[in-house]
Amino acid sequence: MTLTPLQALITVIMLIVGTVLTRAIPFILFPSNKKTPPFILYLGKVLPYSVIGLLVVYCLKGVSLASSPYGLPEAIANVAILILHLWKNNTLLSIGAGTIIYMLLVQNLII
């Protein structure tokens, strides 16, 4: 699908407006001189863990334990992530190394 120049301009403007609004609304709703509502503080504590849980479920939903490689690359990468995170307590290292391990297993070692 090819956009006309007018359609492309409208699309870019809408993206800019949407981005600015999503960046500005929290500062408008929760200014620094007012106390943040307890519900928002609660969400700030629980949502990161919920999102990670959701991502883990989403990433593992298509793993077949009935056919080769029986989920071994995923299991090995997840164990590596867990061990690295417990050892170094560095999220970026854990996710990066887990991704590299998984990709190496899928592309080179596991057929």
Q: Enter the pTM of the model.
A: 0.64
Taking only the tens place, the pLDDT of each residue in 9-55 is: 999 999 999 999 999 999 999 998 999 999 999 999 999 999 989 99
Cβ–Cβ < 8 Å for 97, 81: yes
Per-residue confidence (pLDDT) for residue 39, from 0 to 100: 94
Distance CA 84, CA 106 (A): 20
The 8-class DSSP code of residue 89 comes to -
Indicate the domain borders of the chain: 1-34
Distance CA 34, CA 82 (A): 39
Overall size of the chain counted in residues:
111
